């Protein structure tokens, strides 16, 4: 039976590819979208492939010249309208995401607020996105930024509203057109977003093709007329996308995995420890732990280790594991059985090589029998353990004791990722030194997840290539064209007449 809220939410029974501002009829195979917590069906989604990708690229290609020719102010106006439409529809869209991926309403509401801010940020940024120029002898150099054309974009399932905004907003602001593939585990809110897009943007500017990575995704990254590729997801798939771009020599931007250190220094004031513990808890458990940014390696100084650990365990115990449609902060379920089994396997690995302090078990939630809920899980371990080195993408925190600063810095950097890091200290000099030495694209001092529109978001090492969320992102979606102007034609000199 369909989920009882499907009709009330205005979900379509079936979704085809969104091309040229219209959903295509579903003629072939489909895959189900089901509520992560209950398993109840929400809709059937077309399992698209090369044919739909070809049609979407053709539509985007046809729309590109006129969209590129629009003034930045006109493109910005469309983005502002989309932001307003999402804001007005946020309550419905956030519930769709909560059902689809199992995260709490309090979180999916934040997602849509961030998405709205992204559309508005790039609407403003594009108006002042300029090239440069300078005089040259008897003339002038003009360097102007131009869009690439059709951008192929692939997004993950953990924060679909944010990911769609991260990709769509800068691309179309800069004058590109888009073919976006959402993840098969979280397509619904993106497909519902298309209903707003159809009323605001010209046909073909934004196209959405659902499907599986090895079918629709592979066809998109290999398409000869996709002029730029952008991917967010695992480092393993990021390599595949990067190779696809290299084979066609097109630019690729990647936002990949993380295993972020979160460091507590011994000088934290006693009055601030509870607040630090609360932020550490949030850093590890937000998004049900399914975040590339999560602070999943907690480096805790031995001078305050016992005190902080006791408060941390009490903080974890206060977290509600509950039906994600409940109000207030909570820990919902993982997105799928596949992800649940993955997290369970890492917990089993952790039991063998570390000390399980709390959690580690699957939790039964009334009315949510299909959901993979886990209690907040904390291990005491070493930095070399697998659970401290590999991205788990679940509510699992590794705590590592430290006493020597240089050793701690070395271990904090001793991981293949470099997306984010956090630290807590009253010593500003030590904070800046540590931030400089950490191999991470984002370092948050005294407040983890401290993201603000305009703050560059991108990783070092295997965490990606390029920066999102900021003005620099517009440079990723444009290339420079140089035009030199001479004020008059110079006399012949190379092979003049005798």
Considering the chain, what is the average pLDDT of its residues? 97
Domain positions in the chain are: 14-256+463-482, 261-445
CB neighbours (10 Å) of residue 446?
A: 17
**Mean pLDDT across the stretch 308-333?**
97
User: Any residues with CB less than 8 A from the CB of 149 and at least 6 apart, and which?
Assistant: 61, 64, 176, 177, 225, 227, 228
The catalytic residues are 255, 292
- Phi-psi region at 108: left, alpha or beta (left = phi > 0; alpha = psi -120 to 50): alpha
**Mean pLDDT across the stretch 58-67?**
98
Report the relative pairing of strands 150-154 and 228-232 from DSSP bridges: parallel
pLDDT of residue 453: 83
Fold observed for domain 261-445:
Aldehyde Dehydrogenase; Chain A, domain 2 (3.40.309)
In tens, the pLDDT along 190-204 reads: 999 999 999 999 999
Q: pTM for the complete prediction?
A: 0.96
pLDDT of residue 347: 98
Of 296, 307, 239, 259, nearest in space to 465 by CA:
239
Asked whether the beta carbons of 265 and 249 are under 8 A apart, the reply is no
pLDDT of residue 342: 98
Give 130's pLDDT tier (boundaries 50, 70, 90). very high
Of 285, 315, 280, nearest in space to 300 by CA:
280
User: Any residues with CB less than 8 A from the CB of 134 and at least 6 apart, and which?
Assistant: 140, 141
**Mean pLDDT across the stretch 136-152?**
96
Of 233, 278, 241, 273, nearest in space to 257 by CA:
233
Distance CA 299, CA 266 (A): 11
Distance CA 242, CA 226 (A): 14
Distance CA 204, CA 364 (A): 45
Give 4's pLDDT tier (boundaries 50, 70, 90). confident
Report the relative pairing of strands 206-208 and 228-232 from DSSP bridges: unpaired
* Residue 1 pLDDT exceeds 70: no
Name the burial class of residue 60, with classes exposed (0-12), middle (13-18) and buried (19+) by CB atoms within 10 angstroms of its CB: buried
Q: Give the largest Cα separation in the chain, rounded.
A: 97
Task: Choose the weakest-confidence range: 4-8, 42-46, 122-126, 372-376.
Answer: 4-8
Distance CA 498, CA 179 (A): 59
In tens, the pLDDT along 364-407 reads: 999 999 999 999 999 999 999 999 999 999 999 999 999 999 99
Percent of residues, the chain, with pLDDT higher than 90: 96
* Residue 3 pLDDT exceeds 80: no
**Mean pLDDT across the stretch 147-158?**
98
CB neighbours (10 Å) of residue 249?
A: 6
Distance CA 477, CA 170 (A): 7
* Residue 80 pLDDT exceeds 90: yes
Distance CA 122, CA 130 (A): 14
Percent of residues, the chain, with pLDDT higher than 70: 100
φ, ψ of residue 442 to 5 degrees: the values are: -135, 125
**Fold identical between 14-256+463-482 and 261-445?**
no
Give the 3-state secondary structure of residue 78. Answer: helix
Distance CA 487, CA 71 (A): 27
* DSSP-assigned beta bridge partners for residue 128: none
pLDDT of residue 455: 92
In tens, the pLDDT along 163-187 reads: 999 999 999 999 999 999 999 999 9
**Mean pLDDT across the stretch 403-424?**
98
Distance CA 7, CA 35 (A): 14
Specify the CATH class of 14-256+463-482 in words. Answer: alpha beta
pLDDT of residue 452: 84
Asked whether the beta carbons of 167 and 122 are under 8 A apart, the reply is no
Give the 3-state secondary structure of residue 427. Answer: coil
pLDDT of residue 497: 87
Give the 3-state secondary structure of residue 185. Answer: coil
Q: Does an H or E element contain 111, and which?
A: helix 105-125
- Phi-psi region at 414: left, alpha or beta (left = phi > 0; alpha = psi -120 to 50): beta
Asked whether the beta carbons of 139 and 96 are under 8 A apart, the reply is no
């Amino acid at each position: 039976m369909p989920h009882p809220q499907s009709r009330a939410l205005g979900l379509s029974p079936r979704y085809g590819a969104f091309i040229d501002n219209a959903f295509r009829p579903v003629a072939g195979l489909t895959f189900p979208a089901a509520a992560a917590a209950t398993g109840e069906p929400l809709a059937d989604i077309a399992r698209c492939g090369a044919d739909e990708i070809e049609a979407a690229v053709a539509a985007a290609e046809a729309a590109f010249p006129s969209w590129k020719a629009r003034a930045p102010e006109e493109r910005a106006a469309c983005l502002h309208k989309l932001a307003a439409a999402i804001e007005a529809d946020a309550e419905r869209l956030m519930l769709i995401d909560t059902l689809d991926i199992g995260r709490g309403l309090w979180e999916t509401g934040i997602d849509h607020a961030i998405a709205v801010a992204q559309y508005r940020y790039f609407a403003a940024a594009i108006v002042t996105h300029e090239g440069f120029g300078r005089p040259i002898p008897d003339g002038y150099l003009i360097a102007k930024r131009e869009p690439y054309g059709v951008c192929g974009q692939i997004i993950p399932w953990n924060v679909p509203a944010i990911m769609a905004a991260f990709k769509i907003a800068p691309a179309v602001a800069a004058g590109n057109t888009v073919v976006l593939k959402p993840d098969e585990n979280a397509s619904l809110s993106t497909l519902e977003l298309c209903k707003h897009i159809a009323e605001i943007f010209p046909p073909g500017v934004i196209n959405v093709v659902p499907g599986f990575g090895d079918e629709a995704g592979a066809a998109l990254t290999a398409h000869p007329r996709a002029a730029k590729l952008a991917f967010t997801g695992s480092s393993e798939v990021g390599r595949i996308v990067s190779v696809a771009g290299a084979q066609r020599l097109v630019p690729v931007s990647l936002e990949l995995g993380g295993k972020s250190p979160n460091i507590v220094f011994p000088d934290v004031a006693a009055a601030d420890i509870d607040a630090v513990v609360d932020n550490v808890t949030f850093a590890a458990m937000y998004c049900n732990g399914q975040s590339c940014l999560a602070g999943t390696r907690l480096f805790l100084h031995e001078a305050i280790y016992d005190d902080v650990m006791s408060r941390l365990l009490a903080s974890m115990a206060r977290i509600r594991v509950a039906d994600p449609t409940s109000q207030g902060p909570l820990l919902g379920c993982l997105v799928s059985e596949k992800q649940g089994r993955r997290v369970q396997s890492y917990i089993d690995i952790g039991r063998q090589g570390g000390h399980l302090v709390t959690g580690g078990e699957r939790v039964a939630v009334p009315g949510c029998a299909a959901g993979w809920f886990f209690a907040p899980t904390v291990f005491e371990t070493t930095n070399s353990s697998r659970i401290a080195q590999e991205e788990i993408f679940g509510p699992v925190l590794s705590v590592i004791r430290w006493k020597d600063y240089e050793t701690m810095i070395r271990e904090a950097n001793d991981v293949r990722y470099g997306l984010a890091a956090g630290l807590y200290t009253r010593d500003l000099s030590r904070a800046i030194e540590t931030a400089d030495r950490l191999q991470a694209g984002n370092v948050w001092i005294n407040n983890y997840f401290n993201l603000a529109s305009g703050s560059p978001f991108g990783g070092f090492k295997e965490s990606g290539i390029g920066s999102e969320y900021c003005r620099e992102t517009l440079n990723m979606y444009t290339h420079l064209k140089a035009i030199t102007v001479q004020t008059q034609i110079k006399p012949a000199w190379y092979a003049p007449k005798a």
